[in-house]
Structure 1
Amino acid sequence: MAEYTLEEKESFTVLGLGIELKSDYTDYAGINKEKSDFWEAVKQDGRLNTLKALATNDYIFAVNEAVNNKMMHYAGVMSEATLPEEESRVIQFPKGFYLIVKGEALTAEELSNKLTGIAFGQVLPEEQNIAYVGGPNASVEMEQRNGLIYGEMWIPVVKK
């Protein structure tokens, strides 16, 4: 069983810039390519730096959320600020319990994929006392140490 914790968190807000994922939700290779291309674009065109300038801490969020029956993916930061851009979104994470999976990897993309796989592929299917009932979830890039990126996956859950 993967290592994880349950933590109670206060509600928080992430300011994100996003895209709609067009791949079928079972097409992991397609989804990962769309996410990878998106992250490359927001780094290259300066949008990620714009977000970082509005952040209340150094965390970088990769947020997944269903909005109006669309699979959305956002690059985000913790912030109370807003942006005028159409593709920006203020994402509310609810107060409550969160499944937290910790890990490290060589790149942010590898970290996000690894944590998502562990959380949704191992912990949630095996854990009988909690359930994910939807809402935004995020992999959070928190710091770099010893040449690796350290972070966590935060998934809001309810106790059964």
Structure 2
Amino acid sequence: MSDFHVEQQEAFTVLGIQKELTSNYTDFAGLAAEKQAFWQIINENGQLERLKMLAISDELFFVNEAVDNKMMYYVGVRADKMDSKADRLIQFPVGEYVVVLSQGDDTYSLSESVINETFGSVLGQVSGYAYVGGPNGVSITGSGDNLNAKMFVPVVQQ
């Protein structure tokens, strides 16, 4: 089980490469396959490395967001301006967030693991707060087999 808490978070922006997820939101295998294929493509074609050159921190983000009634998935970096190497600037507003911490040894697998645990278990354990929608994302830091994940889910007090 991952550690989690609620904390006040300053606003930040993620510059992301996007993928529209077309599987039904309850088709977890289909969504996982789409995300995995996207991760593989951006690693193989150099998009991810080009994006990392624009980062203002060493964090790599995996972001989920509903945009115009579409499920969007982004791989991104913390940035403060738009660039042609990316598709979107994703705004994480100032506010309260459930923050879920985890560790692992594979970037993509760790991100998926903490997302699944957060929405499958953790949010049900957080009392007095409700998820408000908006972007949620996982920040991965570290290297090799010593990776740290920090999931951000915006919430409001009930």
Q: Does the CA-based 8 Å contact 2:100-2:151 persist in structure 1?
A: yes
Q: CA RMSD in A?
A: 1.5
Structure 1 residue 142: Cα displacement: 1.2
Distance in 2, matches of 1:7 and 1:110, equals 25
The runs of at least 4 consecutive aligned structure 1 residues that moved more than 6 Å come to none
Query: Does residue 1:3 correspond to 2:27, yes or no?
Result: no
Structure 1 residue 33: Cα displacement: 0.8
Q: Give the aligned partner of residue 132 of structure 1.
A: 131
Query: Does residue 1:13 correspond to 2:31, yes or no?
Result: no
Q: Does the CA-based 8 Å contact 1:54-1:81 persist in structure 2?
A: no
Distance in 2, matches of 1:148 and 1:32, equals 23
SS for the counterpart of 1:4 is strand
Q: Does the CA-based 8 Å contact 2:2-2:102 persist in structure 1?
A: no
Q: Give the aligned partner of residue 73 of structure 2.
A: 73
Structure 1 residue 2: Cα displacement: 4.8
Query: Does residue 1:143 correspond to 2:142, yes or no?
Result: yes
Q: Give the aligned partner of residue 63 of structure 2.
A: 63
Q: Give the aligned partner of residue 117 of structure 2.
A: 118
Structure 1 residue 144: Cα displacement: 2.6
Query: Does residue 1:37 correspond to 2:37, yes or no?
Result: yes
Structure 1 residue 5: Cα displacement: 1.3
Q: Give the aligned partner of residue 108 of structure 1.
A: 107
SS for the counterpart of 1:123 is helix
Distance in 2, matches of 1:14 and 1:127, equals 26
Q: Does the CA-based 8 Å contact 2:2-2:101 persist in structure 1?
A: no
Distance in 2, matches of 1:144 and 1:74, equals 21
Q: Give the aligned partner of residue 96 of structure 2.
A: 97
Name structure 2 gaps, 5 residues minimum. none
CA offsets 1:101-146 (integer angstroms, 9 cap, x no match): 111122112111211122111121232211111000001111136x
In the superposition, the TM-score normalised over structure 1's length comes to: 0.93
